[in-house]
Amino acid sequence: MGSSFPKPLTCKEEEYYLKRFEEGDSEAKNTLIVRNLRLVAHIVKKYSGGNTNPDDLISIGTIGLIKAINTYSSKRATRLATYAAKCIENEILMSIRSDKKRKLEISLNEPTMIKFII
């Protein structure tokens, strides 16, 4: 997380790359992803400090960013970054909840270390 990220896109650049992506240009999609990684890192800071590895959170957040780019429509009244921030945050929260749920599940078939006092 200590590495520097490319500068965010300007409004005009964002419009340009979104239009190219909507026309099927995969390089435009890659540019949208790379130039929004700083947003992922910023959101991850809110959730670091727990039991989850920050690099894992960056990966999960990047998945949220990719989903945001794939589902964003330039007809929306909001900028991509605003929409993506919610998608990134939701992806991270879903992962944290899933991890917690997995840790709470106990198998009835698994031997336990519980000693019964009689």
pLDDT one-digit tens code per residue, 97-112: 887 776 665 556 665 5
How many domains are contained in the chain? 1
Does residue 110 lie within any of the structural domains? no
Residue 28 CB partners (closer than 8 Å, separation 6+): 17, 18, 20, 21
- Helix (H) or strand (E) run with residue 96 in it: helix 80-104
User: 3 in a domain, yes or no?
Assistant: no
The residue segments making up the domain with residue 90 are 11-104
pLDDT digits (tens, 9 = 90+) for 21-55: 999 999 999 999 999 999 999 999 998 877 778 89
Please report, for the domain that includes residue 67, its CATH number. Answer: 1.10.1740.10
Q: What is the mean pLDDT of the chain?
A: 87
Residue 89 lies in a domain: yes
Which of the two residues, 115 and 9, has the higher pLDDT score? 9
Question: What is the CB neighbour count within 10 angstroms for residue 13?
Answer: 14
| In a domain? residue 35 | yes
Residue 21: Cβ-neighbour burial (10 angstroms; 0-12, 13-18, 19+): buried
| Tokens representing residue 48 in the block | 């670091």
Kindly state whether residue 1 falls inside one of the protein's structural domains: no
Q: Measuring CA to CA, which residue among 41, 79, 46 is closest to residue 61?
A: 41
Q: What is the pLDDT of residue 98?
A: 87
Q: Can you give the pTM of this predicted structure?
A: 0.80
Q: Is residue 111 part of a domain?
A: no
Percent of the chain with pLDDT over 90: 66
Structural domain includes residue 55: yes
Q: DSSP H helical segments within 23-75, as ranges?
A: 26-34, 37-47, 54-71
Whether 74 is covered by a domain: the verdict is yes
Q: How much is the pLDDT for 100?
A: 76
